[in-house]
Amino acid sequence: MPIGNVQPSVRPAQAGRTDGAVARSSVRRGGARSRRTGGGVWSERLAPLVLVAPAVLIIVVLRLYPLLLGVNFSFTGDGARNGMAVGLDNYRELFEDPLFRTALGNVGLLVLLLPVAVAIPGLLATFIYLRVPGHRLYRGVYFFPAVLSPVIVGAIFNLLLAFDGPLNAVLGSVGVSPVDWLGDPDLAMFIVVGVHIWATFGMALVVFLAGFATLDSALLDAARVDGASLPQVIWHVIIPSLTRTIQFVFVTTMIGMLTSMFGLLFVMTSGGPEGSTYLPEYYIWIQQGQMNRPALASAASTVLFVIMLVVGLLQINLLRRAGKEA
Amino acid sequence: MVWDWKSGEASAAPYIDRAKADFAKKHPDVTVEFVAQPFDQYYTLLGAAIQSGKGPDVILFNGGGQIRDRVDALAPLDEYLAEDKQRLAGWDAFTKDGRIYAGPVTLQGHPIYYNKALYESAGLDPASPATTWSEFVADCAAIARAGAKCFALGNKEGVGIQFWLSSLASGVLTAQEYDDWIAGKRDWSSPNVKRVFQLWQEAGEAGLNNDGANSTAMFNDSFALFQSGKAAHVIGLMSDVGHWKDFNEFLTADKLGVMDAPVVTAGTTPSLPYDGGIGYGVARWTKDPKVAADLVRSLTSTDALKAFYAEAGAIAADTTIDVSQGGPAVATIVSEIKGGKPALHVALSSKTLDLMGRLSQQLLGGSVTVDEVVKQLAASDQAG
């Protein structure tokens, strides 16, 4: 009975009437319940089950069942051993394959680069919020790459970063020798991640701006009056106020990095040079599509699924704890 | 039903039409449906069809590893295609363990194209390109002085090394080694095999290739370098893309030459490396393999292939087609088909090719030695 609790404090004069209405409605409800005994209780209990059934069925039939089939398939062989149970052979082969280990290592690299991917939109959103000159223009410009498809983005950066491309030409004009951005195995992964961040930070920026909308400007003014510098304002006022937004962006950025780099990799590096930019997704695609090893690809998919599950659970845990703190 | 990645292209339409007409004469009651799949997903989709055991009756394949890895899903066609064996070339790429699994449509090979205009400006005779490796390197130095690179190389996908291996090997490996390689007896530790990879490494170190070869896509950035006159040679293809017809458009037919592989090991005779490029096979699950095989025969009939050659610029598997209108480069290629041999890389499994691609990038980057490369490739080759 929430109405009874809120209203009186605001409008004490109507308190009595409100309470009366609540009392009457509860009486009516009690009466209805007494009339609907037996079958009524059953239908009331069944109703939620019937209502969730379509969703549950879709998840079970179209998600969980294929998932189980896939896991099951990963324990069978390829080629001549098609359909035969081979136990853990596929998994053994996976972890002996240096290429798959590189792919897993790159997942680790993505996790390490995550703070950068979150800090960039966070900082830029701060500047927009603090109304740097031209902030209206930047707000639009920053979001622009987010509407481009990864294939287009990849193609654009392929041109820009080509050995005889414009970036190296600019470097050359200031006396820096050209760099093979996408042909150097130590560099390529960072470049692709950088382009991915460039292409997707617009979304995170919007989320940050939404977070800023809830920020209490009185706190900022107070900090300014006290003579806080910009870094101090960011560190002591903005970051603590936006903890939940930051955590949300962390989660969504992580998911984005783990699941939607394929297009960029495909266009920009094809997993190369020297296999240095493989990610599990790309590995799965190569094994299934190019090497005709569907069972091995299933095993790799299962490993990727487990990784995503662990990362996802960790993040849910983190969010829940953050929720309690706030 | 037919699956391919060609029938959707405008340039292949006359070819498909003629093949359909030919087939309709033989089987008026059977309707044929062509379903064009996007090529980048072709083998992924096909893999799914093979897993489920149903799908198209007639399937287009690339020769070599792509079809050999999937023969479990195909019906042998030896008895149906026997009459075409003489007329068509390129059967080896569609054969596994002595049985034929597809009828060849085009031939695919790796001639070395060169730009005669660049030869002239470098003071070289465009009519007589180098025949030995040392002459070739000397010519490259002259070309470098004229401001162009020697090779247009795109090794981003790791395909550059495949072309390199196949196109130069006939001047490096002895005839015996070459035939053994194709027959499956590959001696990776032989000095001549190592020499092929050493040449690759040396060409990279000596700056014969365009800069940034590991980040240059072969399709079509490296071909664009050649077409725009920034590099004097390119190891190209015979059919589909990166071939004489494309190059003719940019360099004009009389400025485009095709040369034999320079001789590296004395006593070797260079030959054109080629195989069946694409071909149609018949699925194991098809109801009437005879009818399906007849469709394959229609798709490889002289009339249909002539249309394919003329419109799409492919070197058709049918060697009786007259190509004199196409310019000197294509005439050279066709004249060398008789003496040609299967390309070395086509004999390797997809897995070994993938590994070779990555190792070749390491060789160019300088992070691996030739000995290590042949060791790893030997291990992969023996396992697969």
Q: Give ipTM to 2 decimals.
A: 0.75
Residue B335 lies in a domain: no
What pLDDT score does A4 carry?
A: 41
Q: Are residues A175 and A282 in the same domain?
A: yes
A-chain residues near B157 (CB < 8 A): 270, 272
The model's pLDDT over A50-97, given as tens digits with 9 standing for 90+, comes to: 999 999 999 999 999 999 999 999 999 887 787 888 989 999 999 999
Q: Are residues B91 and B23 in the same domain?
A: yes
Q: Are residues A97 and A20 in the same domain?
A: no
Q: Which is more confident, B60 or B39?
A: B60
Give the one of B47, B213, B365 whose C-beta lies nearest to A292's C-beta.
Answer: B47
Task: Please state, in angstroms and rounded to a whole number, the distance separating the CA atoms of residues A256 and A251.
Answer: 9
Query: 3-state DSSP call for residue A76?
Result: strand
Query: Is residue A194 scored above 90 in pLDDT?
Result: yes
Query: Is residue A3 scored above 80 in pLDDT?
Result: no
A274: exposed, middle or buried (C-beta count within 10 Å: 0-12, 13-18, 19+)? buried
Residue A63 lies in a domain: no
Query: 3-state DSSP call for residue A266?
Result: helix
Contacts of B87 (CB under 8 A, 6+ apart): B302, B318, B319, B320
Query: Is residue A224 scored above 90 in pLDDT?
Result: no
A-chain residues near B211 (CB < 8 A): 163-164, 178, 180
Residue A72 lies in a domain: no
A-chain residues near B218 (CB < 8 A): none
Query: 3-state DSSP call for residue A261?
Result: coil
What pLDDT score does A1 carry?
A: 38
What pLDDT score does A9 carry?
A: 41
Half-sphere exposure of A255 (CA within 13 A, CB side): 12
Task: Please state, in angstroms and rounded to a whole number, the distance separating the CA atoms of residues B273 and A73.
Answer: 40
Count of pairs with CB atoms under 8 A, one residue in A, one in B: 88
The model's pLDDT over B210-238, given as tens digits with 9 standing for 90+, comes to: 998 998 988 888 999 999 999 999 999 98
Where in the sequence is the domain holding B325, given as residue range(s)? 2-106+275-329
Q: With contact defined as beta carbons under 8 Å apart, do B263 and B270 qualify?
A: yes
Q: Residue A21: pLDDT band by 50, 70, 90 thresholds?
A: very low
Half-sphere exposure of B362 (CA within 13 A, CB side): 18
Q: Are residues B122 and B210 in the same domain?
A: yes
* Domains in chain B, number: 2
**Average pLDDT of chain B, as a whole number:** 90
Q: Are residues B6 and B154 in the same domain?
A: no
Q: Are residues A226 and A311 in the same domain?
A: yes
For residues B168-176, average pLDDT: 94
* Domains in chain A, number: 2
B-chain residues near A83 (CB < 8 A): none
Task: Please state, in angstroms and rounded to a whole number, the distance separating the CA atoms of residues B131 and B261.
Answer: 7
**Average pLDDT of chain A, as a whole number:** 84
Question: What helix, strand, coil percent values describe chain A, rounded to 5?
Answer: 80, 0, 20
Task: Please state, in angstroms and rounded to a whole number, the distance separating the CA atoms of residues A59 and B10.
Answer: 43
CATH number where B24 lies: 3.40.190.10
Give the one of A80, A272, A289 whose C-beta lies nearest to B214's C-beta.
Answer: A272
The CA-atom distances, in angstroms, between B131 and each of A68, A257, B143 are 61, 52, 16
The model's pLDDT over A30-49, given as tens digits with 9 standing for 90+, comes to: 444 445 555 678 888 899 99
Q: Are residues B196 and B290 in the same domain?
A: no
Task: Please state, in angstroms and rounded to a whole number, the distance separating the CA atoms of residues A301 and A303.
Answer: 5
Q: How far off is chain A from B141, nearest CA to CA, in Å?
A: 21
Query: Is residue B74 scored above 50 in pLDDT?
Result: yes
**Nearest by Cα to B377 from B357, B365, B367:** B357
Q: Are residues A112 and A204 in the same domain?
A: yes
What pLDDT score does A323 carry?
A: 64
Where in the sequence is the domain holding A9, given as residue range(s)? 1-35
Q: How many CB atoms lie within 10 A of CB B295?
A: 23
Q: Are residues B319 and B365 in the same domain?
A: no
Q: Are residues A21 and A143 in the same domain?
A: no
Q: What residues does B44 pair with on adjacent strands?
A: none
Residue A321 lies in a domain: yes
What pLDDT score does A26 carry?
A: 44
The model's pLDDT over B239-296, given as tens digits with 9 standing for 90+, comes to: 878 888 889 888 998 999 999 999 999 999 999 999 888 899 999 999 899 999 999 9
What pLDDT score does A13 carry?
A: 42
Q: What are phi and psi of B5, to 5 degrees?
A: -125, 15
Q: Are residues A133 and A266 in the same domain?
A: yes
Dihedral Cα B204, B205, B207, B212, nearest 10 deg:
50
Q: Are residues B123 and B255 in the same domain?
A: yes
Query: Is residue A20 scored above 50 in pLDDT?
Result: no
The residue to which tokens 């990610």 are assigned = A279
Q: How far off is chain A from B359, nearest CA to CA, in Å?
A: 7
Strands (DSSP E) contained in chain A are none
Residue A301 lies in a domain: yes
Q: Burial letters for A149-188: b for 16+ Cβ neighbours within 10 Å, e otherwise? A: ebeebbeebbeebbbebebbeeeeeeeeebbbbbbbbebb
Residue B241 lies in a domain: yes
What pLDDT score does A306 carry?
A: 92
Q: Are residues B280 and B251 in the same domain?
A: no
Task: Please state, in angstroms and rounded to a whole number, the distance separating the CA atoms of residues A146 and A162.
Answer: 23
Residue A59 lies in a domain: no
Q: Are residues A248 and A99 in the same domain?
A: yes
Task: Please state, in angstroms and rounded to a whole number, the distance separating the CA atoms of residues B188 and B347.
Answer: 14
What pLDDT score does A260 carry?
A: 84
Contact status of A18 with chain B (Cβ, < 8 Å): no
Q: Are residues B80 and B140 in the same domain?
A: no
Q: Are residues B54 and B163 in the same domain?
A: no
Q: Are residues B97 and B131 in the same domain?
A: no
Residue A205 lies in a domain: yes
Q: What residues does B3 pair with on adjacent strands?
A: B35, B59
Query: Is residue B77 scored above 80 in pLDDT?
Result: yes
What pLDDT score does A5 carry?
A: 43
Q: Are residues A105 and A175 in the same domain?
A: yes
Q: Are residues A188 and A294 in the same domain?
A: yes
Query: Is residue B321 scored above 90 in pLDDT?
Result: no
Q: How many CB atoms lie within 10 A of CB A71?
A: 15
Residue B9 lies in a domain: yes
- With vertex at residue B166, the alpha carbon angle to CA B160 and CA B172, rounded to the nearest 5 degrees, is 115
A309: exposed, middle or buried (C-beta count within 10 Å: 0-12, 13-18, 19+)? exposed
> Residues in chain B whose beta carbon is closer than 8 A to a beta carbon of chain A?
41, 43-44, 47, 51, 69-70, 72, 156-158, 210-217, 221, 350-351, 354, 357-358, 361-362, 365, 367
What pLDDT score does A39 carry?
A: 63
Q: Residue B51: pLDDT band by 50, 70, 90 thresholds?
A: confident
Decide if A292 and B43 are in contact by the 8 Å CB cutoff.
Answer: yes
Q: With contact defined as beta carbons under 8 Å apart, do B36 and B7 qualify?
A: yes
CATH number where A196 lies: 1.10.3720.10
Q: What is the 3-state secondary structure (H, E, C) of chain B?
A: CEEECCCCCHHHHHHHHHHHHHHHHHCCCCCCCEEECCHHHHHHHHHHHHHHCCCCCEEEEECCHHHHCCHHHECCCHHHHHHHCCCECCHHHHEECCEECEEECEEEECCEEEEHHHHHHCCCCCCCCCCEHHHHHHHHHHHHHCCCEEECCCCCCCCHHHHHHHHHHHHCCCHHHHHHHHHCCCCCCCHHHHHHHHHHHHHHHCCCECCCHHHCCHHHHHHHHHHCCCEEEEECCCCCCCCHHHHHHHHCHHHEEEECCCECCCCCCCCCEEEECEEEEEECCCCCHHHHHHHHHHHCCHHHHHHHHHHHCCCECECCCCCHHHCHHHHHHHHHHCCCECCCHHHCCHHHHHHHHHHHHHHHHCCCCHHHHHHHHHHHHHHC
Decide if A273 and B157 are in contact by the 8 Å CB cutoff.
Answer: no
What pLDDT score does A29 carry?
A: 47
Give me the amino acid identity at B49. Answer: A
Q: What are phi and psi of A60, to 5 degrees?
A: -70, -45
Chosen from B37, B209, B214 to mutate, greatest number of chain A CBs within 10 A: B214
Q: With contact defined as beta carbons under 8 Å apart, do A178 and A171 qualify?
A: yes
The model's pLDDT over A87-143, given as tens digits with 9 standing for 90+, comes to: 899 999 999 999 999 999 999 999 899 999 999 999 999 889 888 898 889 888 898
